[in-house]
Amino acid sequence: MKDILTASFVTEMRKTTANMYRLGWDERNGGNISYLLDEKEVGEYLDLTKVIREIPTGFDAKPLIGKIFIVTGTGKYFKNVDDDPETNLGIVRIKQDGTTAELLWGFKDGGKFTSEFPAHMMSHMARLEADPKNRVVMHCHPTNLLAMNYVHELDEAKLTHTLWEMCTECIVVFPDGVGVLPWMLCGTNEIGEATAKKMKDFRVVVWALHGVYGAGKDMDETFGLIETVEKAAEIYMLTAGLPLLNTIKDEDMVKLAEHFGVKYRKDFLHLK
């Protein structure tokens, strides 16, 4: 067996969590990531017949039976992942009953996956149905986007339109717009179900007054998606309250979307 600490998926988790912490998106133990892995690749590093222990998921994830994920742990600080991945990360497989996760590696201190595991798995189910290439779900608390929640209407069309106006690349990076949920109690199946419902149409979902969920085909794409939304929110917060002399026009957004061949939410634009 190869050394699992050299596996690309472990390296990606170490680098990404460190970067997210550095940016201030994941204070203390805030935020979580789950990454759907390729069974054959994992088998190069782990004996897949050896289960360390079983962890109840608290919900039915039958569509994900047999699928393997690397996921951040509950109560774990992103700043510690790089130094001690085996304690702060875990690799789990959804058991045949659909309500149990088999721990294959990690959580060596007796810990378990993030309390947002239901929201992650439900989002994976939704995104895999929308796009089978989507393998990463990422939750964090980007500072400017969170601040924007307090001063901007939490309406999907209006919030998306404002963000699209902030940077030329925005409508190209998230042409499907930004979904919005009202404030809800985190760590519950209810918020997981609501997030998954939004994830059928959006790759970015704002949890009002809390943070954001993003999904993508790999770690770079998902991180870059949230990074772009956060950059747009930062520009908004830097200019909020100031007289705007210039803005990106809706017809110019259409030109961008059509030039780059992306399918965008036309109903979120103000076209004549």
- Please, are residues 268 and 253 in contact by the beta-carbon 8 Å criterion? no
Amino acid identity of residue 124, one-letter, is H
CATH architecture of 1-115: 3-Layer(aba) Sandwich (3.40)
Residue 192's pLDDT is 94
What are φ and ψ of residue 90, in 5° steps?
-145, 150
User: What are the b/e assignments for 164-196, b being 16+ CB within 10 Å?
Assistant: bbbbeebbbbbbbbbbbbeeeeeeeeebbebbb
Residue 63's pLDDT is 95
For residue 107, what are its two tokens? Answer: 């959580």
Residue 66's pLDDT is 97
What are φ and ψ of residue 164, in 5° steps?
-60, -35
Residue 1's pLDDT is 86
Strand partners of residue 94: 101
- Give the pLDDT confidence of 188-215 residue by residue, as tens digits: 999 999 999 999 999 999 999 999 999 9
Q: How many CB atoms lie under 10 A from the CB of residue 89?
A: 26
Residue 14's pLDDT is 97
- Give the pLDDT confidence of 144-163 residue by residue, as tens digits: 999 999 999 999 999 999 99
- Please, are residues 226 and 213 in contact by the beta-carbon 8 Å criterion? no
Report the predicted TM-score, pTM, of the whole model to 2 decimal places.
0.95
Query: For residue 120, which of 181, 179, 71 has the smallest C-alpha distance?
Result: 71
Round to whole Å and give the CA distance between 153 and 187.
Answer: 25
Question: Do the domains 1-115 and 133-272 sit in the same CATH topology, yes or no?
Answer: yes
Residue 271's pLDDT is 82
Q: Does domain 133-272 have CATH number 1.50.10.20?
A: no
Catalytic residue ranges: 116
Query: For residue 143, which of 230, 32, 16 has the smallest C-alpha distance?
Result: 230
- Domain ranges for the chain, please list them: 1-115, 133-272
Residue 224's pLDDT is 98
Report, as ranges of residue numbers, the positions in the chain whose pLDDT lies below 70: none
Amino acid identity of residue 196, one-letter, is A
